[in-house]
Structure 1
Amino acid sequence: MAVKDEPDHDEEAGEHGEEGVAVKSDDTGKHQSVTTSSLDGLQSQDSRKVMDIVDRLRRSGLSSELQLPQLVVSGDQSSGKSSVLEAITEIPFPRKENLCTRFATEIILRRAPTASISTKIIPDKFRPTTEKKRLENFKSSILDFTELPNLMEEATNLMGLGDDGAGAFSRDVLSIEIAGPGRPHLTLVDLPGLIHSETKMQSKADVELIDGLVDDYIKEKRTIVMAVVSAKNDYANQIILKKCRDVDPKGHRTLGIITKPDFLEPDSDNEASWIELAENRDIQFALGWHILKNRSNKEINTSFAERNVSEHIFFSKGKYRELPSEMLGINSLGSRLSQLLYKHLKTELPALQKELNSKHAEVCRELELLGDQRPTAHEQRRFLMSVSSNYQEIVNNAVKGDYDDQFFGILEPDEPVDHERNMRRLRAVVQYLNLQFASVMREYGNKSRITASDSDELSLPIDDFLAPPAEPRTNALDEGYAQFKSLQEGISRDAAVQRVSNVLVRSRGRELPCTFNPLLISQLFWEQSTNWKTIAEYHVERVANVCSQFVSLAIREAVSLDVAGRLLAIRVDDALQGRLDSAKSELGTIIQDTKRHPITYDPHYVDAVQKRRSKIYNARIQQLAETASTEIADANDGWTYKQMLDAAVLNHSISDREDPDMEKTSAEEALDDSLSYYEGEINYFISVVTKQVIERYLLTKLAKDTISPMVIGDMTDNEVAFVAAEPEEKTRDREFLENRKATLEKGQATFKSALGLFR
């Protein structure tokens, strides 16, 4: 706001007790106690109690944590904001040209036993650290208002806005706290005037800076905006009105202030349009409008009391007499603001308390992750023991499938099962992967997939187990497991029998004709189970990776990120790698067992061989029967036709079918025996991989082997110090969080002491 030099004001009033007085400057610049009607309006009993709560919250430091309710005065340049502020606070702000227009000024009025004026600078959060410290070090107190101009000029220079400064405006805030026995608890923020366009003295960057600064203040939901518009200019062209309607369309927290009505020609159309605006019939605000008369140039040296008298006389004439008195003048504005602030603050305080409690819980959680201070080796080891206890509870519950802890959170059903949130439910993920492994083994574990015979000579049935369903279940397998489809090749039964025959010839020993070397079954099984190793190794690696990611999440839940990272590096990563190596070793042993000569004591194998041979035998008999069948007409039965077997044709067919190729017969038997053996072995292999490898080496004792009291106990003092000793930055973080916690708890205590106010 642009202001000019103003001499001290001489106000005459009677003295009162503490509750009805305000501080003023006399001709000597010293404080006196006088009655002030405008401030009295801001000090109704209920309002004072509510404002006292907000003041106590602000003084406890909560303004750095929460957006506290406040009054913001904003308007275009030369709109009369300075006069509004002076009329409300009755503080003679310095009127040196361009002194108060270049940064936000926070004016804090506070009731106190003795009078004082103190100032400080709140640096812009984007300033470099060194500049922040320099500005924060500016703190000054004065005894009377005559020293205020020099003090404000000093602050302006520190911000880099003096005559030699490169900047014209700043996002720093000058905070002026004025205390005294009669002051109301009230905070107002005066913002730089909005600029319509750049000029020689004000650049485009200046326009944008002020525009953004005003937006930052007025968009806050707990801020009441006093939108000041000057009657000297068309209100449709004054930027502040559009800004207020953008952030507060209904005007629930916007009070329109019309200044300089004495510049309007009495009984003119222009005056009528402004009165219509004041009556809330043009631009409507739920809080309405108010009209104030500024001191004219001739009245610039008059006191506040004389200013109020002049204003009262002005509004007692012309069309202003027809307006309600509560929307005219500074005295009624004080009462109006008192009621407005009381309602607003009473509405906002419950939400403020809820936000305060939420932030307190958040800070407590961050401190919990940091743990207690731990300067000694004993405290450091004790800290890690506590971490291991929390960690073990999470991991053991995950392995058992008990998901009650808050760590497991909410599922993401539309995301993959190993999505970060879903992966927290470790048992569910491993069960899913085991089922994927079992499915892919049964579908694509066999190297050759036997299909129907190429020959029409004998329609043998397709092998029920080895032939896939009509539509393979690749759509049920995720991308990782579906890749193994390419490892399998299709082959007809005739080709399979021929391949076995070739192997039989090349592996013949001293066995009699029509039989085959027992080692032939081994060869056939080894060839058919070639894919097992590749699929099983992939499965073990995938489950191990899931366990590793889960452990990382669990550690980060149990302790802060820096300690978690060091624990992973010094102990956990090696432990997980060791468990994976053991799992791979066990899998290697199981794979090696499959390379031995087939041995089984499973009665299902014999049953499978018998069923397979019976199926083939029955198919052949059925085909022979169909060949020898004929239809015969029976005259005794009304010349109906009956299906009969021709014995001669049947005998001839059987003779023709007697296959002299004994190697083919042996090859067929060897193929069927190997397939029956494969059926049993693949189920066994799936079981031992999931139980002896996945369960035994990757899940069982997962918590114990990674972070447990025993693991912590085995760590050397140097290792413990490396993991748990608090670095300097963490000590600063703890101090910062402790200070935040103390500040928030002061605020909670303030609310607790004021609960009876709203009952």
Structure 2
Amino acid sequence: MSVSISIIPRPNTDETLKARLLQFQRRITEMENKDLTNIFEEICQFLSQDILKIEMSGPDNLSGTYASDIVLVENVVKLYMSNRRTIILAVIPYNVDLATQEILKLAEAADPGGIRTMGVLTKPDLVTERTTKDAIIDLVLGKRSNLRLGYYIVKNRSADDNISTVSDRLAAEKAFFMAPPWPSVADRCGITSLKARLRDLLMSVSKQEFPYVKSEIEQRLLQCRADLEIIGPSRADQGSQRLYLGKLTSRFQLVTQAALNVHYTGDQVFNTEPTLKLATKMIKLNEDDEGESSFRRSLDDLPFEVPLFYYPELNDIILTDDYQCPKPLKGPILTHIEEALESSRRPELGTFGGTILGTVFKEQSEKWEPLVLSHTSKAIALVHEYIFQLLTKLYLDKQIRDQLWNILLLDKLRNAYRRAMSYARFLLAIERGSRPTMLNHYFNANLQKKRSERMTRSLMAMAISFSGGGEERYVPVCEDILDTLMSYYKISRKRFVDVICQQVVSHFLLEGDENPLQILVPDLAIRLDLEQPELITGEDEG
């Protein structure tokens, strides 16, 4: 079974419009409601006094029709009736019970107030009982009707009438309604009266809906102008293609500079797309990844979502596995320091060199590597998401956007992200693998403070016996190592966090000469190879 949808032009339609209407042919087999919506959006631009024709073809016996096909036809009817500009004509024969008519139920669902529905009663010539005629007259007079537009009566030609003309049928209908009891409702009887009423209704609906139609047209016009602004002039040659690409990249950079400088009021795009507020999101990321708030935090725990499953191109560059930083272990660290000292003791009693400090510091900073690489990965994901979303917002032409992304950007972006991750690893190697060095005067101040606090206590109480050829007393070296480690760790951590934020995030990802946000710049169009402008912005043939 299938449903054919077409339009029958109204009389006296000019030939140009008539040809357009007759060309409208749609056939439905099994389609979803969204497909029906698309068809009726097309129809609405034509219909006024024209006739929508819906034909169902299939088995001669309706019982052989599939249930899904019945639902399909019903959906077509419901969709068209739901349009607030549609006048619903509920055509019902006299010789049936109105209460059981499906069309009235559908009309009530689409038009609960009954303000768009008109009843059209047919076959009045088959009614012979006086009481039935009186009931019909009451219905037409509105005594038993909830339809604001009321009921009209028309007389059909007989089943075997195949030769009468339109004028013959109108004359016969007029003569029929001149007989009692119809003269009492003469203004609502016959095709002529119905046509006049529908003409008035269409004019009334047109006047009522004109402001809304005008507003919709203006909105569509604005959207078309915006689309044309993005599409730009013809791009048939390399000069126009490079010019077009230059304008697009200039727009990208203007928005990006506003995003980095927190000038969100300077561009309308931040009102419609608040997710593009890059600087704010990066500041939030840096704040959230410091201190104890970062314990057990993963890439999915950010205060904003970065859907990495959309960007598989990052999988081999950033850390996508969840890293949950555990809280520090509780308990004394001196035992561990004693073991480390014993394994690297020097001949001089009571002294220690930089080797033991470096060893202990590297152990205590073991979690710095996954924390730094995880933080850098989050920052890369934020930048990548920003670039993709801004391109989606600015470049309405999907073909141009995809070509720009795949041909020009993706490889360069990946290289920029690799540089950031590589530099983060370089800083980790320097900070954790080199001999501990600290020129910050706060280090010595903190260390001396800790030593003074310890030395003010009773030296004798702190002394321990050491037997090895004689009894000697000395201040424990392990506690001095701990004091030094704590002072060094505190300063080193603050210094390292600043370096990562300033050099890896700010320089390599946001502000440096080779950061990913600087790839799509206006002079890029000048540096393209000969064939690239056509590949990216060239127009399709036809």
Q: TM-score range by the shorter chain?
A: 0.7 to 0.9
The answer to whether 1:377 aligns with 2:238 is yes
Is 2:519 the partner of 1:706?
yes
- Whether the aligned pair in 2 keeps the contact of 1:504 and 1:517 (CA below 8 Å) is no
CA deviation after TM superposition for structure 1 residue 339, in Å: 2.4
Instruction: Give 1:672-683 correspondences, 5 Å limit.
Output: 672-683=483-494
Residue matched to 1:32: none
2:331 maps to: 492
Report the residue type matching 1:398 in the other structure.
Answer: A
Residue aligning to 1:178: none
For residues 319-367 of structure 1, the C-alpha deviation after alignment (integer angstroms, 9 at most, x for no partner) is 33443x4323334333322322221111112212222222233333444
Q: In the alignment, which residue of structure 2 is the partner of 1:659?
A: 464
2:509, 2:517 within 8 Å by CA — same for their partners in 1? no
Identify the match of residue 123 of structure 2 among 232, 248, 260.
260
- Identity between Structure 1 and Structure 2 (%): 22
How many angstroms apart in 2 are the aligned matches of 1:384 and 1:113?
A: 44
Following the alignment from structure 1 to structure 2, what is the Cα–Cα distance between the partners of residues 575 and 283? 72
Question: Structure 2 unaligned runs (5+)?
Answer: 31-38, 304-319, 467-472
1:501 matched residue in structure 2: 338
CA RMSD of aligned residues (A): 3.8
Report which structure shows greater RCO (CA 8 Å, sep ≥6). 1
Residues 633-685 of structure 1: per-residue CA shift (max 9 Å, x gap) = xxxxxxxxxxxxxxxxxxxxx85654335677111111111111110110000
Q: 1:376 to 1:541 in 2, by over 3 A?
A: same
C-alpha contact (below 8 Å) 1:191/1:214 kept by paired residues: no
Instruction: Report the 3-state secondary structure (helix = DSSP H, G, I; strand = E; otherwise coil) of the residue aligned with 1:492.
Output: coil
Contact 1:391–1:554, Cα closer than 8 Å, also in 2:
yes
Deviations 1:721-744 (A, max 9, x none): 22222233xxx5xxxxxxxxxxxx
Pick the aligned partner of 2:534 from 708, 718, 721.
721
Q: CA deviation at 1:688?
A: 0.5
Give the distance between the partners of 1:667 and 1:317, measured in 2 at CA: 122
| Structure 1 counterpart of 2:372, one-letter code | A
**Alpha-carbon distance in 1 for matches of 2:479, 2:357:** 12
1:597 aligns with 2:459: no
SS at match of 1:256: strand
Q: Does 1:251 align with 2:89?
A: no
SS class of match (2:87): strand
Q: Which residue is 2:388 aligned to? A: 552
Between the aligned partners of 1:285 and 1:504, the Cα distance in structure 2 is 98
Distance 1:281 1:300, change over 3 A: farther
| Secondary structure, counterpart of 1:221 in structure 2 | coil
Structure 1, unpaired ranges of 5+: 1-100, 129-170, 176-184, 411-420, 445-471, 622-653, 733-759
Residue type at the aligned position of 1:516: F
Q: Judging changes above 3 Å, is the alpha-carbon distance between structure 1 residues 276 and 315 closer, same or farther for their aligned structure 2 residues? A: same
Which aligned pairs between 1:589-628 and structure 2 lie closer than 5 A? 589-594=426-431, 595-616=433-454
Match of 1:363, SS state, is: helix
Indicate if the aligned counterparts of 1:391 and 1:703 stay in contact, CA closer than 8 A: no
Please list, as runs of the form range in 1=range in 2, the aligned pairs for 1:523-538 lying within 5 A after superposition: 523-538=359-374
The one-letter code sitting in structure 2 at the alignment partner of 1:671 is L
Secondary structure at 1:612's aligned position in 2?
Answer: helix
Residues 228 and 257 in structure 1, CA contact (< 8 A), matched pair in contact too: yes
Q: Which amino acid aligns with 1:276?
A: D
Question: Alpha-carbon deviations, 1:225-246, whole Å to 9, x = none?
Answer: 2222111333334332222222
TM-superposed CA distance for 1:289, in Å, is: 1.0
SS of the residue 2:10 aligns to: strand
Instruction: Spell out the pairing of 1:227-238 with structure 2 (5 A cutoff).
Output: 227-238=90-101
Pick closer, same or farther for the CA change 1:207–1:591 going to 2, 3 Å. Answer: closer
> What is residue 425 of structure 1 aligned with on the other side?
277
Q: Which has the larger radius of gyration?
A: 1
Q: Quickly say closer, same or farther: Cα 1:188–1:394, change in 2 above 3 A.
A: same
Q: CA separation in 2, counterparts of 1:527 and 1:710?
A: 49
Question: Cα distance 1:110–1:390, how it changes in 2: closer, same or farther (>3 A)?
Answer: farther
Question: Structure 1's 111 and 575: CA in aligned 2 closer, same or farther, altered over 3 A?
Answer: closer
Q: Matched residue pairs, number?
A: 496
- Distance change (3 Å), C-alpha of 1:670 and 1:125: farther
CA contact (8 A) 2:117 2:147 kept: yes
How far 1:689 moved relative to its partner?
Answer: 0.4
Asked if 1:483 is matched to 2:385, the reply is no
SS at match of 1:257: strand
Which secondary structure state, in structure 1, belongs to the residue aligned with residue 288 of structure 2?
Answer: helix
Counterpart secondary structure, 2:421: helix
Tell me if the contact between 1:252 and 1:287 (Cα under 8 Å) persists in the aligned partners. Answer: yes
**AA at the equivalent of 2:440:** D
Instruction: Name which of 252, 266, 272 aligns with 1:391.
Output: 252
Give the CA deviation at 1:538. Answer: 1.8
Other structure's SS at 1:353 match:
helix
Distance 1:607 1:583 in 2: 35
- Provide the residue aligned with 2:500 in structure 1: 689
Give the equivalent residue in structure 1 for 2:144. 282
Alignment-derived partner of residue 79 in structure 1: none
